[in-house]
Homo-oligomer: A and B are copies of this chain.
Amino acid sequence: MSRMPPQGGDLSRLRQLNALSLIKVLRGAEAATLSALAGRTGLSRPSTKEVIDELTGLGWVEEVPPAPGTMGRPARRYRFRADGGHLMGVDVGAHNVRAALADLDGNVVAETRRRTRPDAPVADRLAAIEQAAAACLDLGGLTMADLWTVAVGTTGLVTPEGRVIMSASVPAWRDLDLAGLLGGMFPCRVLVENDSRLAALAETRRGVARNARDVVFLHIGRRMGTGLIIDGRLHRGFGAAAGEIVMLPEAHWVTAPDDLADPAVVPTGVPPEDAAGFTLAAARNNDPAALEAVGRFADKLSIGTAAAILLLDPEIVVLGGGFSRSADVLLPLLRSRLERVCLRMPELRASTLGDECVVLGAIDYAIEHLDRLFFAPDAPVLRPPVRPAVSTAVPDPA
């Protein structure tokens, strides 16, 4: 009957649970005193001390100077050593490859970008990834050996095993064992996931949808995409094909972006990648033809979005992707259309993370992967912070 928290066991298991619970409390928080930690874990002071000592010895926790100016004897303070390990997020797009290096708390330490062309051959794009990663490590003063996990977000359909089936925006990205190829590039576990899904994750972890349990993320741009967070977790589906509402014929999402590149609105000479921006700007200035074009786009956008809202009843819908820079124009149009259809209207917000959305999501995804490794019920024995072994076996027990 469903997955089960109540995992008892040995005495040492209890100690381990308490240690993990302590790490959990320390994570992300500022330095804390023993009393505070004892209060938050429910353990007694002496036990907390003992566990903290063990964790300090292992290198998970470090002591920081006591806070001055308090009454009584100054309390020793401890904090989680987020620099005990590092992970990397990579965003592989049609025009850019981004890499970001982060510590175990998800704080970005260094960031790089390499340009590529949509029609670049596979080898070139892989080289760009390698260069971006190497430069990023350099900037952060680290080496490959310091990486615990790499998570990669890419355009296209990604299988649970990390193969790219095909990508509309990167023609060469087709039936490609990306996880395998990158597995040879990095000496650690490499996770590959669809970019829209990772963007959705970033928005729920640190963006406008922070702390929401059910989120629909819409990537609206020259290519459309969706990412779903359900019950606080990234939803992949049985064959990792979730979120592909783009393919619903009745929603016309495949051709919808063309509405914003209507020759009746956009003068010849405007490069294709700026056409939508032009139309949206014109609509902002009440150009009638542009308004009509944007209206057509919003009509189509609203169909797929309504389907997602009616099915999932999310707390919030987040708009990301290139077009979301003109959310001031799009949001009201979308909202009015959705209100006609939706039983319960969710919050509707534009992304604030912008271009970094996918790399940040990749980092958050890597962190969740590590959390699963460390907090799993069938637990890792308490051990010093070292890079987890590269288990090429199971892709990801969700």
Binding site for B on A (CB under 8 A): 1-9, 11, 13-21, 24, 27-28, 41-43, 157, 205, 212-214, 226, 228, 230-233, 235-251, 303-304, 306-308, 310-315, 341-344, 346, 367-368, 371, 375, 377, 398
- Measured in the bound complex, the distance between the Cα atoms of B242 and A246 in whole Å is 20
> What is the bound-complex CA distance between A67 and B2, given in angstroms?
30
Cβ distance A149 to chain B, nearest Cβ, rounded Å:
16
Across the two chains, which residue of chain B brings its CB closest to A364? Answer: B1
Tell me, rounded to whole Å, the shortest Cβ–Cβ distance linking A137 to chain B. 26
Contact A248 B341 (CB under 8 A): yes
Contacts A7-B17, A248-B310, A248-B341 hold; do A214 and B231 have CB atoms under 8 A apart?
Answer: no
A342 to B251, CA, bound (A): 14
A311 engages B341 (CB within 8 Å) = no
- Known A5-B5, A231-B231: A250·B247 in contact at CB below 8 Å: no
A343 touches which of B231, B233, B247, B377 (Cβ 8 Å): B247
Which 10 pairs from chain A and chain B are nearest by CB? A237-B313, A8-B17, A8-B18, A238-B315, A6-B20, A242-B313, A307-B307, A241-B313, A239-B344, A5-B5
Residues of chain B lying within 8 A (CB to CB) of residue A15? 8
What's the Cα separation between A43 and B306 when bound, in Å? 51
| B247:A9 contact, CB within 8 angstroms | no
B6 pairs with A24, CB closer than 8 A = yes
